Amino acid sequence: MLEVVLSVRPASSRQDIKILKDGTVKAFLKSVPEKGKANRELIKFVARILDIRRCCVKIKSGRKSQKKKLCIENVSAGEFMRAVEKFQK
């Protein structure tokens, strides 16, 4: 199981994910952080770019924070990095 720590920017004008030069993963979401909307969008978005089922992506910590730790099943760190880089192109 892969654990990914990322920074989330809700209520953004776009849906995007980037790996910054320092190795930080940053996700931009259109949903507002109310009633778990941004968390649900994050799970759907990550599952879509990795081409896996949503049930394989879980928020381990940071439900009410901009810093979140995701647990992703059946995906290696290399596969995650390649999927994010492919999404950016």
For the chain, the three-class secondary structure string (H helix, E strand, C coil) is: CEEEEEEEECCCCCCEEEECCCCCEEEECCCCCCCCHHHHHHHHHHHHHHCCCHHHEEEEECCCCCEEEEEECCCCHHHHHHHHHHHHC
pLDDT of 5-47, one tens digit each? 999 999 999 999 999 999 899 999 999 999 999 999 999 999 9
Q: Which CATH number fits domain 2-88: 3.30.460.10, 3.20.20.70, 3.40.50.300, 3.30.1200.10?
A: 3.30.1200.10
pLDDT of 37-58, one tens digit each? 999 999 999 999 999 999 999 9
- How far is Cα 63 from Cα 39, in angstroms, rounded to an integer? 7
pLDDT of 58-78, one tens digit each? 999 999 999 999 999 999 999
pTM, full prediction: 0.92
